Structure 1
């Protein structure tokens, strides 16, 4: 009888041991996941996606998500090149392209990217004037993205896009910008008016030359003027009279 008990105990113990160790040895990585495998503390390989078998207590696995991450950069106090204080915030899109470097070369790559983005945002925008921050956001986004991408390459991080969301300025500066825009509109109106006068003068000179070459055309203009006066129902009609028909005065001038 005791022999039969031992025959049952050892297989049961073996089965229990397998059931305890199996969850520690079997890993399943999703399509967007990778596992950085360390064997006795030393890097051995990057595993995934799919099924992977590890040696329990000898190999450790650090999972890494390869999907694009979104990092909101907090509002930063920036002094522009023309000494205007503004608050700027942005959003960054990045992803892990090399799990080995992302895990080994930096302790917390997401925190590192966030801090680097804040300092880069202040340094880049501080080199530009306020008008450029407001009107050339696309170019500034590209500049910040390229700088971040170069610096995070050693961490196995790819910065895909940077978008400046808000540029908040003081209320007094808003009024100053409004006055500047109004002055600019007045300047453009004066320039357009002057250009119109110049073009009208050029057309009048051209018309005068054409009328000088064709005297009959001047008579037609006289008749058009009389027609316009008659249509206005006025009691006074002015007849244009050539200066040659006026009588001459005693001194040879026109009376």
Structure 2
């Protein structure tokens, strides 16, 4: 059995070292990830996604420290890791609740979420010792500063305003670290039990007040509608009475004209018609006077009343009969006057 020659062993070793160098020199970076490369301890370049070649044992990736929270039961536990590949995607940091004192001296526990993205990997590695921890501490201090200027009621009403103010306050400091703050969300606000009970009572009182105001406004609207209806009804009744009186007067006027046209338009006939109308009104008024008053009125001159009734009967006949009877009455009256004169 022949021994392997030293030359072959040396060649195999050279090949193995070459393969190792090539393997160490080829770096594949995945999409949305980058690597910060140092050459002999100083910054050299940033490797983008794809196949990259580095000098083995001379070029080394610089690691970055990341802190992430994992919920175990009811509590969040921080997990620290050192990573050579920097993720440039948007990252969410759900940090645990922080006690914050509002302007009206109420201590609330606020749980928030922070969305950030690494824009400049070089600054994220060299400008700050622990980028994720620095962002977290900055978010907590800014949250305390912003919420500490507000009252509790204003805090519940203006969550969007609080989020925008925290984001604006963090952008300037985070930009120095090559980090972009995408948005900040206040997730939950926990209050002491006594404050929560007081707010519940306040809410119930406010709802009761609104119900009372709504009921009063409804009653007011109903009363206004009823008054308007009564007013319109009174106006319509008055207009009806007015039109009825006008029509009645016009009818009486037309009747008088017809009677006068039938019996003649002399002064005596006019007096006769006027007497007829007055007598008719007088007779119509007698029952009313007897019903409404405590005394019964009897005409003083019963002959005059009988004469009026006779005149009414004559007026009820035809115009020719009325004229004939009127002439007869005038003749009879003349005879009686002549007899009186002879005596």
**TM norm. shorter chain > 0.5:** yes
- What is the alpha-carbon root mean square deviation over aligned residues? 2.5
Local SS of the residue matching 2:128:
coil
Local SS of the residue matching 1:155:
coil
Distance 1:13 1:131 in 2: 76
Q: Does 1:89 align with 2:120?
A: no
Local SS of the residue matching 2:86:
strand
Q: CA deviation at 1:40?
A: 2.4
Distance 1:138 1:83 in 2: 22
Higher alpha-carbon Rg: 2
Q: Which has the higher helix share?
A: 2
1:100-124 alpha-carbon deviations (Å, 9 max, x no partner)? 1111111211111111111111111
Distance 1:192 1:217 in 2: 37
Distance 2:97 2:197 in 1: 22
Distance 1:24 1:72 in 2: 37
Distance 1:130 1:247 in 2: 76
Could you tell which deviates more after superposition, 173-182 or 137-146?
137-146
Which residue does 1:7 correspond to in 2? Answer: 7
1:113-148 alpha-carbon deviations (Å, 9 max, x no partner)? 111111111111111221222233223222222322
Which residue does 1:60 correspond to in 2? Answer: 60
Q: Does 1:142 align with 2:168?
A: no
Which residue does 2:97 correspond to in 1? Answer: 75
Q: CA deviation at 1:210?
A: 0.7
Which residue does 2:130 correspond to in 1? Answer: 108
Q: Does 1:43 align with 2:65?
A: no
Could you tell which deviates more after superposition, 22-31 or 134-143?
134-143
Local SS of the residue matching 2:150:
coil
Which residue does 1:222 correspond to in 2? Answer: none
Report the TM-score, using the length of structure 1 for normalisation.
0.78
Distance 2:294 2:45 in 1: 117
Question: Are the structure 2 counterparts of residues 153 and 248 from structure 1 closer, same or farther at C-alpha, using a change threshold of 3 Å?
Answer: farther
Q: CA deviation at 1:153?
A: 1.1
8 Å CA contact retained: 1:98, 1:157:
yes
User: What does 1:122-161 align with in structure 2 at a 5 Å threshold?
Assistant: 122-161=144-183
Distance 2:122 2:221 in 1: 70
- Any stretches of 5+ residues in structure 2 without a counterpart? 63-84, 241-290, 296-343
Higher relative contact order (CA 8 A, sep 6+): 1
Report the TM-score, using the length of structure 2 for normalisation.
0.59
